[in-house]
Amino acid sequence: MANQYDLIIIGSGPAGYTGAVRAAQLGLKTAIVELEEKLGGTCLRVGCIPSKALLEATEKYDEAQNHLADFGVNVDHVSFDLEKMLQRKESIVNGLTGGVAFLMKKNKVTRYFGRGSISRSGVVEVVQESGEKEELTATSIIIATGSKVSSLAGVELHGNIVGTSTEALSYESVPEHLVLIGAGVIGLELGSVWRRLGAKVTVVEYLDRILPGIDSEIAKEAQKIFKKQGFEFRLGSKVTSARALEEGGAVVEVEGAEPLHCDRVLLAAGRAPNTDGLGAEAVGIELDRRGFIRVDEHFRTTVPGVYAVGDVIGGAMLAHKAEEECVACVEKLATGYGHINYAVIPNVVYTHPEISSVGKTEDQLGEHGVDYKKGVFPFMANGRARALNQTDGKVKVLADAKTDRVLGVHIIGARAGDLIAEAATAMEFGASSEDIAAVCHAHPNLGEAVREAALGVAGRVRQM
Amino acid sequence: MAIELKVPAAGESITEVQIGEWLKKEGDAVRRDETIVVIETDKVTVELPAPADGVITKILIPEGEDANVGDTIGLMEEGASAGASQGSSPAASAAPVHAEPVAAAPEASPEPAPASAAAPSSEVIAPASGAPDVRDSLPPEGFARVMPAARRAAATEAVDLNQVLPTGPGGRILKEDVMRQAAQPKPAPAPAPAPAPAGLAPERPHTPDARGEEVVKMTMLRRKVAETLVHSQQTMALLTTFNEVDMSGVMAMRKKYQDSFVKKNGIKLGFMSFFVKAAIEALKEFPSVNAEVNGRNIIYKNYYDIGIAVGGGKGLVVPVVRDADRLGFAQVEQTIFDFGKRAQKNQIKLEELQGGTFTISNGGVYGSMLSTPIVNPPQSGILGLHNIVERPVAVNGKVEIRPIMYIALTYDHRIVDGREAVTFLRRIKECIEDPARVLIEV
């Protein structure tokens, strides 16, 4: 039967498309259902990728404008072309989403264009925009529908005046004053983009810290650096309302403080599971209190033959975590074994400097009463960092006091996002801090800072 | 895509295997289904075929080492095709309409395997003749299984790494594993002897004699044989009874019908089919010989699966002729002939070795005059055949020269009484001396 599959994946984000390729490799007849015309999900269309394109472009501009002179390179009349930047971003997105479409074709994964819903166990109904319906059947169904922006009481979305990250990736002009609601990774990355291009950026955060989830010592250091860059932080501030004004611009009301007037508001106070129109509850798929799909350790929902992975089941909302889950789920289905190690999932914030982490934070270790040792090394003392003129930040290695096993590594500084890979590899291998220290690191190299921090756990720092 | 090469399940009773010859080296290109490595089990030799086209990137467990079913013994990189005829690499063929190559997709890294770039053909990776093989300079396998800090800790804490229980991924010894061992109260308990398989005494310390000795690891087959035989000797009450058979009747019959038998069946009429048939007659009469002990029960079997010991390339194997009572002489001969041929090439399949209710072992082909075979558990009897020698015998008061074979039945005295065993063997003698008895069942 043409419409019968071994596996149907609903959602084509990193989880969906990677899982579909893996399923095809394992010989499953696979289909993928995507509501949007472009494949790739939030990550490729309006998330990780376009934001990185803009971050990279604006960082170049910022460097040319403010830092090249430090190197003795003089550039006169630095200017930017926003339209070109946005076009470049679009072409990167198009290239990659087209690439995903190609991957589907190459792996003989059938793509269905429309909203996928589960009408009963083993049956997926695809409703196209035109209203046309099609029914597909499958032995297994994986829900990988991702997440959407969380709403916030009192915040009325209004075009790009009071908008979300999707709008903030495409402002046609640089805002004069951008107010971020939420000091998480999305807000700070996009805030960085527009700040570099000249916007005044105010960050309003309910908690008394930025970057929830990131090690608080690292977050504090980040806040200091961002403040120096021009971010204005209003921490411990509750937004009671945000709305567009008829006369133009917007107003953000904050409890116990003067309202903020601005021309753009970006709501980035977290993301919520996307189960819109999925028909989950109607077929008996249980959701938890916050709307995430309930799954067991093998990603099984409460309906036999229906699985869920990625943002829609909660946990860290990261593309690579979602991807790991979907691949593990598919492999478990096809081979009986799937692997995912939640203890070692790296996390990167692409601000400048970058922030990265893997494993437990000091806060978490403290909460659980784990006896740990800590090694720290600042980039200021790293030769390569000095040559790069990027001496902000540090590497922190946390290891079990008794066994010396590495429990967490946290980095803020130049290319932190790349440096974390070493730590993740080490942790996946059950390395001790001494193991990292025992590995020969090239000189002069930013990675030496990781090694020195590892040496620092045993008080053996050599380069400081 | 890196693919893990795993020890396949060779049969339900098999968990431990020994890695045989790696037919492919690291860096060798392989085609799908090409044999990469030979794996020896205690019963059969199986071959591990390549799951896909690609290049062998790592041999994790070298020849001669033990492994368990499911263990990863090597790695290969898929797609690093040796045949360049497949056309452009995945990256190059990616959606030409898009400027961005697919390979750049952020989360879609799996496609262009690094090995494929490095090794478009197997020739490239093979070291030029005379050039040192880089693999020689790699650390030995055991070295790589100990994390660096663990090695240091073992040295400073004077811990024998062989005593350390590894808990790291891939059986790696972590620093904490060494520390745990170091924290054990000293003197450490006498090193628990490696759990030697039943039947094999633990290894003694051995100082080689200066005149030269060779230490050779026992093959899985040999170890299993040792284990089974000792188990049999220790758990059963084995006893052997003998008799002699005048083979002239069977020989005359063979002579008379050989030509027409060959013409009809394309195979020679041997002695084995007569003994299989005679044994079945005897087994029918004495079901306890065709039975097995299971705890406090005796399991009697209403079928006759006769194991035939045949010499193989790696040692003796005992494939089973199923439902031998329902086979004709020609079918029995054909089956045994086929077993013998395949045993030489180690091609006997595992399922062909399993089961069996009774065994026939013919030491006569090697010239044995008399022997006491050991029962193959959980069976309860084994018939030993020997060489046929012309001997002077008294026939009707006169001395005559007759072709005589001594036959032996070893039986488990727990369930087979002496009277039964002796009569069983006499029944075989009668059937062979007068083959017509098999036909008319008297």
Q: Tens digit of pLDDT for each residue in B180-238?
A: 888 887 654 444 444 445 566 767 777 777 777 877 877 777 777 788 888 888 888 99
Same domain, B102 and B154: no
Amino acid at A61: Y
Same domain, B350 and B263: yes
| The pLDDT value given to residue A98 | 96
Among A440, A437, A447, A441, smallest CA distance to A413 is for: A447
Note whether B131 and B123 are within 8 A (CB).
Answer: no
Same domain, B130 and B253: no
User: What residues does each domain of chain A span?
Assistant: 4-149+273-335, 162-269, 347-457
Indicate the DSSP class of residue A284. Answer: T
What does the alpha-carbon distance between residue A104 and residue B228 come to, in Å, rounded to a whole number? Answer: 54
B112 Cα to chain A: minimum distance (Å): 12
Dihedral, A18, A19, A23, A29 alpha carbons, nearest 10: -100
Res B12 pLDDT > 50:
yes
- B175 contacts in A (CB within 8 Å)? 403-405, 432, 434-435
CB atoms A430 and B90 under 8 Å: no
Distances (CA, A) of A421 to A48, A395, A411: 18, 13, 11
Collapsed DSSP state (helix, strand, coil) of residue B331: helix
Give the pLDDT mean for B412-435. Answer: 92
Res B321 pLDDT > 90:
yes
Task: From the candidates B33, B133, B160, B417, give the one annotated as an active-site residue.
Answer: B417
Residue B118 covered by a domain: yes
Q: Which two tokens stand for residue A411?
A: 């980095």
B219 Cα to chain A: minimum distance (Å): 31
What does the alpha-carbon distance between residue A355 and residue A219 come to, in Å, rounded to a whole number? Answer: 9
CB atoms B147 and A431 under 8 Å: yes
**Residue tagged 């004709």 (tokens):** B328
Considering only CB atoms, B172 lies closest to which of A21, A429, A438, namely A429
Helix, strand, coil shares, percent, chain A, to 5: 35, 25, 40
B107 Cα to chain A: minimum distance (Å): 7
Note whether A53 and A88 are within 8 A (CB).
Answer: yes
> Distance from CA of residue A419 to its chain's centroid?
17
| The pLDDT value given to residue B243 | 94
Give the pLDDT mean for A179-192. Answer: 97
Same domain, B304 and B399: yes
Among candidate residues B100, B116, B135, the one where a domain is terminated: B135
For chain A, give the number of residues.
Answer: 464
CB atoms B148 and A98 under 8 Å: no
In angstroms, the first-to-last Cα distance of chain A is: 69
Same domain, B304 and B229: yes
What does the alpha-carbon distance between residue B41 and residue B224 come to, in Å, rounded to a whole number? Answer: 9
Q: Cβ neighbours of residue B88 under 8 Å, at least 6 residues apart?
A: none
> pLDDT tens, A52-66?
999 999 999 999 999
Mean pLDDT of chain A: 96
- A451 contacts in B (CB within 8 Å)? none
What does the alpha-carbon distance between residue A134 and residue A3 come to, in Å, rounded to a whole number? Answer: 9
B243 Cα to chain A: minimum distance (Å): 56
| The pLDDT value given to residue B41 | 76
- B98 contacts in A (CB within 8 Å)? 94-95, 98-99, 102
Same domain, B67 and B158: no
Residue B192 covered by a domain: no
Report the domain count for chain B.
3
Dihedral, B340, B346, B348, B354 alpha carbons, nearest 10: 110
| The pLDDT value given to residue B78 | 82
**Residue tagged 């980035």 (tokens):** A268
Active site residues of A: 443
Q: Cβ neighbours of residue A353 under 8 Å, at least 6 residues apart?
A: A225, A390, A392, A393, A412, A413, A414, A416
Task: Residue B38: give its domain's CATH number.
Answer: 2.40.50.100
Residue ranges making up the domain that contains B151? 139-187
For chain B, give the number of residues.
Answer: 442
Considering only CB atoms, B169 lies closest to which of A101, A428, A434, namely A428
Res B95 pLDDT > 80:
no
Among B11-20, B107-116, B316-325, the range of highest mean pLDDT: B316-325
Residue B204 covered by a domain: no
What does the alpha-carbon distance between residue A268 and residue A151 come to, in Å, rounded to a whole number? Answer: 9
Same domain, B181 and B269: no
A176 Cα to chain B: minimum distance (Å): 32
CATH number for region A347-457: 3.30.390.30
> pLDDT tens, A368-399?
999 999 999 999 999 999 999 999 999 999 99
What is this model's ipTM? Answer: 0.70
> Distance from CA of residue B121 to its chain's centroid?
35
Residue B97 covered by a domain: yes
Half-sphere exposure of A35 (CA within 13 A, CB side): 15
- Please, what's the b/e burial string for B343-355 (b: 16 or more CB within 10 A of its CB; e: otherwise)? beebebebebbee
Same domain, B158 and B294: no
Q: What stretches of B71-210 show up as alpha helix (H) in DSSP?
A: 90-93, 114-118, 122-125, 141-144, 148-156, 175-182
Fold of A162-269: FAD/NAD(P)-binding domain (3.50.50)
- B147 contacts in A (CB within 8 Å)? 429-432, 435
Res B100 pLDDT > 50:
no
Same domain, B295 and B434: yes
Q: Which two tokens stand for residue B418?
A: 């002496």
- B167 contacts in A (CB within 8 Å)? 430
> pLDDT tens, B105-140?
444 444 444 443 333 333 334 444 555 566 565 555
**What number of other Cβ atoms are within 10 A of residue B227's Cβ?**
16
Residue B203 covered by a domain: no
CATH number for region A4-149+273-335: 3.50.50.60
| The pLDDT value given to residue B58 | 86
B436-439 long-range contacts, CB within 8 A, separation 24+: B437/B281, B438/B274, B438/B277, B438/B278, B438/B281
Half-sphere exposure of A26 (CA within 13 A, CB side): 22
Among B386, B329, B321, B330, smallest CA distance to B357 is for: B321
| The pLDDT value given to residue B84 | 38
Among candidate residues B91, B108, B135, the one where a domain is terminated: B135
A14 Cα to chain B: minimum distance (Å): 7
Residue B214 covered by a domain: no
What does the alpha-carbon distance between residue A412 and residue A380 come to, in Å, rounded to a whole number? Answer: 12
pLDDT band for A313, please (50, 70, 90 cuts): very high
Residue B320 covered by a domain: yes
Same domain, B419 and B404: yes
| The pLDDT value given to residue B93 | 38
Among A180-189, A455-464, B283-292, the range of highest mean pLDDT: A180-189
Task: From the candidates B231, B338, B413, B434, give the one annotated as an active-site residue.
Answer: B413
Give the pLDDT mean for B151-163. Answer: 86
Task: Residue B155: give its domain's CATH number.
Answer: 4.10.320.10
Res B434 pLDDT > 70:
yes
Same domain, B293 and B383: yes
Scanning every residue of chain B, which has its alpha carbon at the shortest distance from the alpha carbon of A19?
A: B108
- Reduce the secondary structure of B95-131 to three states and give it as a string: CCCCCCCHHHCCCCCCCCCHHHHHCCCHHHHCCCCCC
Scanning every residue of chain B, which has its alpha carbon at the shortest distance from the alpha carbon of A440?
A: B148
**Helix-helix angle B248-265:B329-344, to 10 degrees:** 80
Same domain, B9 and B120: yes
Examine domains A4-149+273-335 and A162-269 and report if their fold is the same.
Answer: yes
Among A144, A194, A145, smallest CA distance to A165 is for: A194
CB atoms A44 and B106 under 8 Å: yes
| The pLDDT value given to residue B106 | 42
Among B388, B378, B384, smallest CA distance to B421 is for: B384
Scanning every residue of chain A, which has its alpha carbon at the shortest distance from the alpha carbon of B105?
A: A96
Residue B254 covered by a domain: yes
Of the residues B78, B107, B152, the best mutation for testing chain A's interface (the one with the most A CB atoms within 10 Å of its CB) is B107
**Residue tagged 């297994």 (tokens):** A140
| The pLDDT value given to residue B91 | 39
Burial (0-12, 13-18, 19+ Cβ within 10 Å), B391: middle
Interface of A with B (CB under 8 A): 14, 17-18, 21, 25, 43-44, 48-49, 91-92, 94-96, 98-103, 106, 319-320, 323, 400, 402-405, 428-432, 434-435, 437-439
> pLDDT tens, A9-52?
999 999 999 999 999 999 999 999 999 999 999 999 999 999 99
Res B265 pLDDT > 80:
yes
Among B207, B324, B343, smallest CA distance to B273 is for: B324
CB atoms B175 and A403 under 8 Å: yes
- B99 contacts in A (CB within 8 Å)? 91, 95
CB atoms B147 and A100 under 8 Å: no
| The pLDDT value given to residue A106 | 96
- A431 contacts in B (CB within 8 Å)? 147, 149, 174
Res B383 pLDDT > 50:
yes
> pLDDT tens, A113-164?
999 999 988 999 999 999 999 999 999 999 999 999 999 999 999 999 999 9
